[in-house]
Structure formats: structure tokens, C-alpha cells
Chain A
């Protein structure tokens, strides 16, 4: 999962990186180094795209062809039959999982972005006691892997009887320490104090200033945060694994994993896992391609400042 989702971003870089580099330094690379760089990029591209290619080819095969034909080239093209079989299995539970993932990741990332933007903006633009301490604590949160928090979260949610509910997965998805960090850096750099002053003089309240003025200036960073959080929630597997028991609440990652563990009982299900995996990465690829432009500029700026 991780490798496949990372690939569109990484493979996209080579197109821009050389041009950007030459603009900055003004030095033209020799033909040799350029060739070597290209070769490395090609190898890296193949490395990341081959599994996806395999997945696509495997998804297009009938069950019999799957074991009997070459793994990296097509046999009888049965992609749409396979998709139909997937949607047919267990009352289209797979579609439900896709919908759940879209809800957790889409709405979750949106709210997480707003919260992170507000927090980052506040830390960047207001001086108050304990500001740095607060920021450092949040920054510390970046270092704690989400996996380590899953079990404590489970015990906490158990106390309020909220495990095995939408909230058990949704609420923890709303926080993004990295998003707060990026927002602060970006707000400090891209939202001049003069503009905030001007807005105040014009009679705008703090909240209105934030939503109408600051968020527009911070847009590239916000898109970055949204993308990061969207991918993080979409791929978050461990938290739903621990929290959810009801099949109708599963996100697509957990659902496919559960199926995959049933392969020894029902070998036929393997074909569904493969076609399901292919379909499950399409939303990620689309999101990345759609927001790539913003994402790159946001990340570059965040890194510079």
C-alpha cells in the first residue's frame, strides 16, 4: 500500500527537479551526469510502477489464467467480469467499504486541515504565554507513531463504549500534528502582519480575517496538509483493525486484509482481493494527480522557510 501510493508523487518529481535545479544554480549538468540521473529515475520508476502493473494485469485475468499464464502480461481480458464479481460478492460490501474510506479520509482530512490551519495560524500570529511550549508539545506529537496510540485509544474508547462505531476511527483522524507544524511555518511566512492589521482596521473580526484572508494565502499549505492527512487516513489500517468489528464500518484497507486472511478457507476469494486492491488505489491516484500542483509548491515552500 505505502509503496504504491508513494509512487505517483515520486515519479512526478523527476520532471520538475532538473529544471528547478538549473534555475537555481545556473550550472548545466554534463551529458554524463544527466544520463546517469535519468537512468536512476527510470529504474526508480520501474521499481514503483511494476507492482501496479502486475496488479493491473492480474486483475484482468480469469481465475484459471491467473496461475497458468505469465504474471506480467495479459491473458483473456476479464477485468470487467472480475469487477462485477467483486461488486456482487456479499451484497456489494466492497462498495460500502470504499464509501467508508471516502468518508473517513475525505471528511476527516477536511476537518483535520481546518483544525490544523487554525492552530498553526494562531501559534504563528498571536503571542501568548506558553506559545512555544504548546508548539513543542504538538511537534512532539509528530514523533509518536499512530500505531503506538491505537491501543491506548482503544482502551479510552472502551470506557465510553464507543468502540466499534464510526467515531472510533473518525475522531482520532481529526488531529494532525504535522499539519499544525506546517501551518505555523507557512502562516508565519505567507501571511504578512500588515494584512491582518489592515483587515482589523477594516472591521473584520479575528475569525473572519482567518477564513477570508489567511486561508487564501495559506492555500498551498492547506492542500498539502489535506493530501497528507487524506493518504494517512486512507492507508491507516491498524486503528480500524483494533476498533472495528462490524463489517459494514470497515474501511477498504481493513476489508481487503480480512478477505486476504480467508484465502486458505476460500481460495477463490484471492481474485477478489486482487481486483479490490486495484480499485482501492484509484481514489488515491486521482487525488494526487488532481492536487499535485498545489502539493508540490506547498511542500517546497514549507521546506525552505
Chain B
């Protein structure tokens, strides 16, 4: 309780920053914005870097070896929504935030609105780095502002369809390429006693990935106020589609990430999972008996012949407000997320999938994966990453949005209400939440 009040106070104090800096492209509002005031510090510096990536120390050790004058100290904690974001806000309040922090894409607007990020656009080499990154990730760290870069993209979660190649083949069902075919396949699979998929009632960011693919946008910011649109045309289409599958008992509704959910995949009850690249390890770990029988295909499309993809997850390395060494911090963030050795190390210890274009060509992604019948599944994901719409915008209160919509979704899968009603309720509560945080919002 106490914490959210403080965070809210911070929001009130700082929220105007977004509106102001967003429209004044000169960036005179934010210290460190444009104007070349990102200069190297004198003498050796020590940076603190908070990340919950397991084993990130190994990548950092490479940097520390090569840069004796810029030593980076790793701090850790639970994942963002598990406590680290709240810790960042507490630290920003207390004035002892780390120089660098891991922040997921969907939390970036929250930090921006609360003025928790340094603009590192003026730091050497940062603006030029844009070309190295998968296009959609760059718009997530600039918020579309001119001369602004608030973080370096780290990893992404391009989405595709994991499916049981053996079961589809044995049943003579063609692998669906459109959502229409997917529904038809769902009915055939149900006749055989299986389910085509599981509707993950609590993974609202996965649902957002589906909406993202369909071209929907949940939030927009015109520099003066936020617009919330959880019930737009595309979102409605996606919600009604999955509602139909739920109503007709064509998808299972196990709570995700539980034993019974794993068991449903392991026992071949569920045939596909539309998920992100990191899901490859989830299946391999949760459904060991099905090894070798899986394959990956692009997400089914809304219109035949398209190749749109969604994204689920991914994070950035941001320089937090108040850092004494933004120049060095920016250099480190750029190195960490573009250097082949660093990316390889992070992939090895934490399974990250890099946000750089070149990252998709790392040797580790060039081989077939045994669990997936030897298919080189990363080719599919690299292609998907390039087909993610760059215009999708996250809102400043995503934790609240996720919680509120998840409440409604879990009701919907048990028969009370619908997915669309849950989104309508989420729309209203999100506008209320923004107003409560004194963030300007269009009614």
C-alpha cells in the first residue's frame, strides 16, 4: 500500500515530463537529452547494473576484462513485476538507483512517465546503433520521440506456432496457415479427443501478442495524453475468435505454467502452442515424453498469404535517471546487447533471443534442434521477428491492465462473462487507473 502511494506520488511529480518532452522535440526538458551533454567521465568508474537474467555475470565478466576503467557490478533480484520494478521506483525515490537496469518493453512507458530513464541519444554511437536492431524494438525504446533513446533493446519474443508434427500427420490434418484453418483443425482434433491449444487465461501479454499480430493497438500517446483502446476492432475480432473456441470446447483451459498444463502437453492431449521463441524450452522441459515430435510454423494468419507476427516478452537495458556516468553506462548497454560473445553468453545461461538483426545469425541459432525433430526452428522466429508491427505501444500501467483483464479472463473460461466483456471492464479500469495516477488520458 505504502509503496504504491509513493510510486503514485512519483508519477504525479514526473508525469508531465512525458507530455512535455514528447512534443518538444528539442528535448530541453530532460537533462541529458540531445545537445551533446553526454560526456565521458574522468578516471575509472564503477557502474551498477541490476538484472534478473540468470548468469548475466558471465557476459559482464567479458566486459570487465576488456574495460578495466569501466567496471560493472551486477546486482540481482526477482523479475520485473516480481519486485525489481518496484525496487527501481523506490531507489529512484531515494536517489540511489543503479546506473543500469533491465526493463521489459511493456514496462518502459511506466518508467518513462515516471521520469525514471536517462535519454542517452546524445551518447556516442547510440543513435547510429538503430540499424543494428530489429525495427520494432527500436520504436519501443524511443517512444517515437526525435533525438531520444531511453534504453537499448536486449531480447525479444517473436511468436510462432509450436505444433505436434507427428499427430497432425497421423490424423491427416493439414497444418493450419490461417486462423480459419486453425478453427477447422481444432474441430477435427476435438473429434479425436484432443485439444488444438490451451487458452492461457492469465497470460494477458500473450493475448496482447495475438492482438499485436492482428494489427490492434491497445495504447496510443500523442504527446499530450494517452488513449486506451482495449476494445478496438482487431482486439474484438481476436477476443471473439477465442471466445468461440472456448464456447465450443475446442481449446483446453488449464491454468498455464501449472503441472496439469505441462501434463496436458506431455500426454499429447494438446497439439499446438502459439507462443514466443523462449517457449521452445518450456515445452522441452514440461513435456519431455514428446521429444522429437514437435515442429514450428509461422503463426496462423487472419488473411491468407500474409505473414504478420506478434511478440510476447523481451526486455531492454536502460540507463536509469540520476546515473553519474550515463556515457559509460550507455556504452556498456550497447556492447552488452550487440556483442556476439555477450549475446552468446546470455543465450547460454538465460536462453535469451537477441534483439539485434545480427543476433539471429549467432552460431547457436544456426543448428537444428533435436526436440523439434532436427528442424532449425530459429529460422521461423527470425522471420517472425522481422514481421512484428513496429507501431504497437504499451501503456504506462501494464501491471494493472494485466491483473484486471486476467480477472475477467479467468471468469470467462469458467463460463461467467466473455473475453470481450473482460476487455471492456479492463478498458474502464485502465482509464480510471491512469486518472488516479494523474496521467492525462482521453475519455
Given A151-B90, A154-B94, are A245 and B77 neighbors across the interface (CB < 8 Å)?
yes
The smallest beta-carbon distance between B363 and chain A, in angstroms, is 21
Q: Does A267 contact B (CB under 8 A)?
A: yes
Q: Is A67 an interface residue (CB 8 A)?
A: yes
Within 8 Å by CB of B54, from A64, A154, A262, lies: A262
Is A246's CB within 8 Å of the partner chain B? yes
The size of the chain B interface, using a CB distance under 8 A, is: 43
Partner of B93 from the list A64, A155, A258, A266 (CB cut-off 8 Å) is A155
Q: Which of the candidate stretches B19-27, B191-199, B285-293, B384-392 sits at the interface with the other chain?
A: B285-293
On whether the beta carbons of B82 and A148 are closer than 8 Å, the reply is no
- Do B54 and A266 touch across chains, with their CB atoms under 8 A apart? yes
Complex Cα distance, B76 from A257, in Å, reads 12
Find out whether the CB atom of B259 lies under 8 angstroms from the CB atom of A71: yes
Stretch touching chain A among B1-9, B158-166, B177-185: B1-9
Cα of A241 to Cα of B79 in the assembled complex, Å: 12
B259 and A163 contact, CB distance less than 8 A: no
Check if B75 is an interface residue, CB within 8 A of chain A.
yes
Which residues of B sit under 8 angstroms from A67, Cβ to Cβ? 259, 262-263, 266, 286-288
Contacts of B87 on A, CB cut-off 8 Å? 241-242, 245
In residues 231-272 of chain A, which contact B (Cβ within 8 Å)? 241-242, 245-247, 257-258, 260-270
Q: Does the CB pair B76–A247 fall under 8 Å?
A: yes
Closest to B291 in A: A64
Number of interface residues of A (CB under 8 A): 34
* CB-contact partner of B77 in A148, A155, A159, A258, under 8 A: A258
A261-B84 Cα distance, complex, nearest whole Å: 11
**Given A258-B52, A265-B54, is A164 in contact with B282 using a C-beta cutoff of 8 Å?**
no
Interface membership of B441, Cβ < 8 A:
no
User: Counting CB contacts under 8 A, is B96 at the interface?
Assistant: yes
Question: Which residues on the A side are within 8 Å of B282 (C-beta)?
Answer: 264, 267
Given the complex of chains A and B, what is the CA–CA distance between A158 and B95 in angstroms?
8
Using A154-B90, A164-B75, A246-B75 as known contacts, list a sample of 18 further A-B pairs with CB atoms less than 8 Å apart, ordered by residue number in A: A67-B262, A67-B287, A68-B263, A68-B266, A68-B288, A148-B1, A151-B3, A151-B6, A151-B90, A158-B91, A158-B96, A241-B77, A245-B75, A258-B52, A264-B282, A265-B351, A266-B350, A267-B284
Query: Can you give 20 A-B contacts (C-beta < 8 A)?
Result: A63-B285, A151-B2, A151-B90, A152-B2, A155-B93, A164-B75, A241-B78, A242-B83, A245-B50, A257-B82, A258-B82, A261-B78, A261-B79, A262-B54, A262-B350, A264-B257, A264-B282, A267-B282, A268-B285, A270-B285
| Interface residues, chain A, with chain B CB atoms under 8 Å away | 63-64, 67-68, 71, 90, 148, 151-152, 154-155, 158-159, 161, 163-164, 241-242, 245-247, 257-258, 260-270
